[in-house]
């Protein structure tokens, strides 16, 4: 990647379609879509969106599972410069409403739902009645909503030259999408990026993984994550490779897909890799087609990295990324020895600077010294949506992005992660803000003080433990505390553990002593 390209996502996609028109771009449940068909179909969807009033700069939400229609809508928006607001499939009703309000999205495109949450039922509610259109993109039409076929038919009113003009009006500096850093209304932050940042970050991923049109990516991480969207889906589409959507993310399904479909690229979070390695019959599958992939989304011990590489027998890559930096900003080299890949997250990518910042003075740390990891370059976000104060805390005036992660750079310019400055819990690759859990338990009225902390877990990396101080005379069960959270938040934010303590330990300055509290929790739980 010798030079950054002044290009939009639509421009990159157009190049891929011209070069690989007869190759398979997308595959799902036996249905195949060539690049030529994908280009034509997304043009028709884009015209339908234009007929609805969507244009450059319009914010339109996508609330869909990892399926072709979700990707089709995203690519159509990219072509005409609409800003795609990517929503997590695990959102509950109150979370969705909060993120729609925060992002100021005017449209929503959604499918059937996820787990026990019905997207149509929520989208039919009066809280979203003010939207300009709610379009259903699931399999079977749902009464009361426009469906994708009707949207495409509506697009026939938009002339081809109007679409061409809309495409030409999109510039690399325009915003491409909003991706959320965590999934709550109180703590969630929407990250605003540009076509320029994402297009070039996609190219960086393609180069790091040596992707060609002969590759086939299996989408094993939800598309609303920057890791999956940029490093898997868009990296495949912009390089002429094939995007394969599995029927689900169960390990049996993934192993069967790798064997049958000859998958070559598989990215996953540590939790999923752990589940794959735990299968008793994993060795019965022929997964020799696997070439490479990235482990990300959470920290992991070096031996775990070595075990994945050894047992799945493919060139696993280490990397560090963040939504605020578009996606990955460090990579190990494809040919690096295992020692570097297992123990570091590689080097900062081209056109990107890295710095270790002293958390007290703000000054750069020397080689080998631990501090906060900061990054500067084309991939750094524009801002958090409607959060100028938080943006100012995270994005420094000289362009450095504070990642909130701690680490050091060694003598080989490789980055090592040592921990997190932020009080974030990462469960199975999902970033969870403790405050949202604490607020809901406090809202019950029986708790005087609550602090949610991360405790170690072999499968998920971290699990949630809610530490509760009850008011005098109050009684609360562990299940009642969990129910207070379950009623409002996604399933993965419900504390696995609940302990009741006499007091939350504090430092001399009155702040919660997180380290001491975690030790108390681990001791009480026998971890």
- Whether residue 495 lies inside any domain: the answer is yes
pLDDT by residue, tens only, the chain of 527 residues: 679 999 999 999 999 999 999 999 999 999 999 999 999 999 999 999 999 999 999 999 999 999 999 999 999 999 999 999 999 998 999 989 999 999 999 999 999 999 889 999 999 998 888 899 999 999 888 999 999 999 999 999 999 999 999 999 999 999 999 999 854 334 679 999 999 999 999 999 999 999 999 999 999 999 999 999 999 999 999 999 999 999 999 999 999 999 999 999 999 998 899 899 989 899 999 999 999 999 998 778 888 999 999 999 999 999 999 999 999 999 999 999 999 999 999 999 999 999 999 988 999 999 999 899 999 999 999 999 999 999 999 999 999 999 998 899 999 999 999 877 767 788 998 878 788 898 899 889 999 889 999 999 999 999 999 999 999 999 999 999 999 999 999 999 999 999 999 999 976 445 678 888 999 999 999 99
- What is the C-alpha separation between 522 and 410, in angstroms, rounded? 32
CA nearest to 79, candidates 107, 100, 50, 110: 50
- What is the C-alpha separation between 511 and 131, in angstroms, rounded? 42
| Long-range Cβ contacts of 30-35 (<8 Å, 24+ apart) | 31/68, 33/68, 35/240
**pLDDT (0 to 100) of residue 511:** 60
- Whether residue 12 lies inside any domain: the answer is yes
- Whether residue 1 lies inside any domain: the answer is no
Residues 235 and 260 occupy one common structural domain:
no
Task: Tokens for 366, please give them.
Answer: 């020397």
Task: Give the β-pairing of 175-180 and 83-86.
Answer: parallel
Query: Bridge partners of 321?
Result: 328
- What is the C-alpha separation between 248 and 235, in angstroms, rounded? 21
> What's the maximum distance between 2 C-alpha atoms anywhere in the chain?
72
Residues 232 and 254 occupy one common structural domain:
no
CA nearest to 72, candidates 81, 62, 83, 87: 62
- How many CA within 13 A on the CB side of residue 235? 32
Last residue in a domain, options 392, 422, 452: 422
Residues 131 and 210 occupy one common structural domain:
yes
Residues 372 and 226 occupy one common structural domain:
no
**pLDDT (0 to 100) of residue 187:** 62
Residues 432 and 496 occupy one common structural domain:
yes
What is the domain extent for residue 512? 425-525
- Whether residue 155 lies inside any domain: the answer is yes
- Whether residue 335 lies inside any domain: the answer is yes
Between the alpha carbon of residue 449 and those of residues 436, 442, 472, 502, the distances in Å are 13, 7, 12, 10
Last residue in a domain, options 390, 406, 422: 422
Last residue in a domain, options 195, 224, 245: 245
**pLDDT (0 to 100) of residue 508:** 47
Residues 94 and 166 occupy one common structural domain:
yes
- Whether residue 274 lies inside any domain: the answer is yes
Task: Tokens for 53, please give them.
Answer: 């009033």
Q: Do residues 209 and 234 make contact, with C-beta atoms less than 8 angstroms apart?
A: no
**Can you tell me which residue has the tokens 């070096």?**
302
- What is the C-alpha separation between 199 and 43, in angstroms, rounded? 19
Q: Do residues 478 and 468 make contact, with C-beta atoms less than 8 angstroms apart?
A: no
What is the CATH classification number for the domain harbouring 435? 3.30.300.30
Residues 144 and 13 occupy one common structural domain:
yes
- Tally of structural domains, the chain: 3
Locate all alpha helices (DSSP H) within 20-133, ordered by sequence. 35-52, 68-80, 93-103, 119-123
pTM of the model: 0.85
CB-count exposure of residue 29 (10 Å: 0-12, 13-18, 19+): exposed
- What is the C-alpha separation between 137 and 515, in angstroms, rounded? 46
What is the CATH classification number for the domain harbouring 366? 3.40.50.12780
Residues 309 and 256 occupy one common structural domain:
yes
**Three-state secondary structure call for residue 11:** helix
Q: Do residues 292 and 264 make contact, with C-beta atoms less than 8 angstroms apart?
A: yes
DSSP state of 366: P
Residues 214 and 269 occupy one common structural domain:
no
Between the alpha carbon of residue 68 and those of residues 54, 117, 145, 214, 467, the distances in Å are 21, 20, 20, 20, 42
Residues 234 and 346 occupy one common structural domain:
no
Residues 509 and 417 occupy one common structural domain:
no
**pLDDT (0 to 100) of residue 299:** 75
Residues 140 and 268 occupy one common structural domain:
no
**Can you tell me which residue has the tokens 């598989």?**
266
- Whether residue 2 lies inside any domain: the answer is no
Q: Do residues 401 and 375 make contact, with C-beta atoms less than 8 angstroms apart?
A: yes
CB neighbour list of residue 172: distance below 8 Å, 6 or more residues apart? 6, 7, 8, 194, 195, 196, 199
């Amino acid at each position: 990647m010798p030079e950054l390209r002044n290009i939009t996502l639509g421009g990159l996609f157009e190049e891929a379609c011209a070069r690989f028109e007869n190759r398979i771009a997308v595959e799902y449940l036996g249905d195949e879509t060539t690049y030529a068909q994908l280009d034509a179909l997304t043009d028709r969807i884009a015209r339908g969106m234009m007929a609805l009033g969507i244009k450059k700069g319009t914010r339109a939400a996508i609330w869909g599972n990892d399926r072709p229609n979700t990707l089709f809508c995203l690519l159509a928006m990219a072509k005409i410069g609409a800003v795609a607001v990517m929503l997590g499939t695990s959102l509950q009703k109150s979370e969705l409403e909060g993120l729609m309000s925060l992002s100021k999205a005017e449209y929503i495109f959604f499918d059937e739902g996820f787990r026990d949450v019905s997207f149509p039922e929520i989208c039919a509610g009066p809280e979203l009645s003010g939207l300009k259109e709610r379009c259903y993109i699931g399999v079977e039409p749902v009464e009361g909503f426009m469906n994708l076929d009707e949207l495409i038919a509506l697009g026939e009113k938009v002339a081809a030259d109007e679409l061409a003009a809309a495409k030409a009006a999109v510039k690399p500096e325009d915003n491409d999408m909003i991706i959320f850093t965590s999934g709550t209304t109180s703590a969630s932050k929407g990250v605003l990026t540009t076509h320029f940042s994402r297009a070039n970050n996609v190219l960086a991923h393609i180069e790091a993984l040596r992707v060609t049109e002969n590759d086939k990516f299996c989408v094993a991480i939800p598309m609303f994550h920057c890791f999956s969207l940029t490093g898997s889906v868009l990296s495949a589409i912009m390089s002429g490779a094939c995007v394969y959507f599995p029927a689900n993310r169960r390990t049996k399904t993934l192993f069967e897909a790798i064997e049958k479909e000859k998958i070559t690229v598989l990215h996953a979070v540590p939790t999923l890799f752990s589940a794959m390695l735990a299968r008793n019959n994993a060795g019965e599958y022929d997964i020799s087609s696997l070439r490479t992939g990235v482990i990300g989304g959470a920290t992991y011990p070096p031996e775990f990295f070595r075990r994945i590489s050894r047992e799945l027998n493919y060139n696993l890559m280490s990397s560090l990324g963040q939504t605020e930096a578009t996606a990955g900003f460090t990579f190990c080299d494809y040919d690096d020895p295992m020692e570097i890949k297992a123990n570091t997250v590689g080097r900062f990518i081209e056109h990107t600077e890295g710095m270790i910042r002293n958390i007290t003075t703000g000054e750069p740390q020397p080689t080998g010294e631990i501090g906060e990891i900061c990054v500067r370059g084309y991939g750094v976000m524009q801002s958090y949506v409607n959060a100028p104060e938080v943006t100012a805390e995270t994005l420094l005036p000289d362009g450095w992005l504070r990642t909130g992660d701690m680490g050091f750079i060694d003598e080989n310019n490789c980055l090592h992660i040592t921990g997190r400055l932020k009080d974030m819990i990462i469960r199975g690759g999902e970033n969870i803000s403790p405050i949202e859990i604490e607020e809901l338990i406090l809202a019950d009225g029986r708790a005087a003080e609550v602090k949610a902390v991360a405790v170690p877990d072999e499968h998920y990396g971290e699990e949630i433990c809610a530490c509760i101080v009850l008011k005098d005379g109050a009684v609360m069960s562990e299940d009642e505390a969990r129910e207070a959270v379950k009623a409002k938040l996604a399933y993965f934010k419900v504390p696995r553990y609940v302990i009741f303590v006499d007091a939350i330990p504090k430092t001399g300055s009155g702040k919660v002593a997180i380290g001491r509290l975690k030790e108390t929790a681990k001791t009480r739980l026998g971890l």
